[in-house]
Amino acid sequence: MIGITPRQLEVFVAVATAGTVRAAAERLHLTQPAISMALAELERALGAPLFDRTQRRLLLNAHGRRALPLAQELLERMRELTSPAVVDAQPLTGELHIGASNTVGNYLVGDLLGTFVVAHPQVALKLRVDNTAEIVAAVLDHRLDVGCIEGAALHSDLEVIRWRDDTLCVCAPPGHPLAKRRRLTPDDFAGARWILRESGSATRSQAERALASLPRGETVLELDQSESIKQAVIAGLGLALLPAVSIVDAQAADRLVVLRTPFLNLKRQLSLVLHRRRYRGVLLQTFLDSVKPARKS
């Protein structure tokens, strides 16, 4: 640590997670020359560059990827050491960057964050909602402290903590011919018109696995939000596989119906994901402890 300052580490982490000197300067309320100078000083102290320079962005190189979680841990440990909460049980403060897949971020955000927000109102939570692939990528790049996703996350650098179970439903408008049948078989879906999520979505991946067990149909739309797909189904544009939690209101209002498809496996798991090298400080661990797994029904 000789010759390395907390400010240099803050600059490094800000540039690494924001991607540009300009964005890091805005985040830290410094000038761009000050950011560049601090970063250059840190690289000189370490004896190696941390980034590959491109025209518009700074991309972490192998040395930078190894150094980033260590820098984040050092900064967090220093904050914990000087925090009043360590000395006299004052309220927790700080900032957490949390990612959520679209299903979680749009329909279960209260279940995910509510307990923690009520108990620790002085902590700033920064929530990013995106598809599962993007959330996993951001956790792996240390741009997010923790993510909550639907579907599988198999990367060896990820720690996966089961949160709760979820299920998809095959949805149709009330006037659809299949909605009027009491019992359905896979053959009834021959030639069906489907509305799917975009590539990279865990819902899309599960939908493709389910559709592979049905006769060939046609994909008529690809949309990046469950709400958009729901409205397209209501408008009669096709069938869709949607998270059960996303259709409660529309189903209660008889705007769409759920087709009974016991021959399809539509259950899935919602999970928390963390980088295995991410330091679990007091703030992050307290958040993880607040997200209690739901009891199985």
Q: pLDDT for 50-98, tens place per residue?
A: 999 877 778 899 999 999 999 999 998 888 877 665 555 678 888 999 9
**CA separation for the pair 296, 198 (Å, rounded):** 29
Q: What DSSP state is assigned to residue 166?
A: E
Among the residue ranges 76-85, 225-234, 236-245, the one predicted with the least confidence is 76-85
Q: Which residues pair with 239 in a beta bridge?
A: 194
Q: For residue 297, what pLDDT band results from cuts at 50, 70 and 90? A: very low
pLDDT band per the 50, 70, 90 thresholds, residue 129: very high
Q: Tokens 């309320």 — which residue?
A: 29
Residues in the chain: 297
| More confident site: 76 or 188 | 188
pLDDT at residue 22 greater than cutoff 50: yes
- Which residues in the chain belong to E strands, given as ranges? 51-53, 58-60, 94-101, 123-130, 146-150, 158-172, 193-197, 218-223, 239-243, 257-259, 267-275
pTM value is 0.81
Is residue 195 within 8 A of residue 220, CB to CB? The reply is yes
Which tokens hold the place of 209?
Answer: 């696995």
Residues 147 and 163: their CA atoms lie apart, in Å, by 11
- Distance between CA atoms of residues 68 and 117, nearest Å: 28
Of residues 274, 286, 297, the one with CA closest to residue 113: 286
d(CA 80, CA 186): 57
Considering the chain, what is the average pLDDT of its residues?
Answer: 90
Q: Are 104 and 119 in contact (CB under 8 A)?
A: no
Contact indicator for 68, 144 with CB cutoff of 8 Å: no
8 Å CB contact between 69 and 96: no
Q: How far apart are CA 171 and CA 175, in angstroms?
A: 12
261 and 137 Cβ atoms separated by less than 8 Å: no
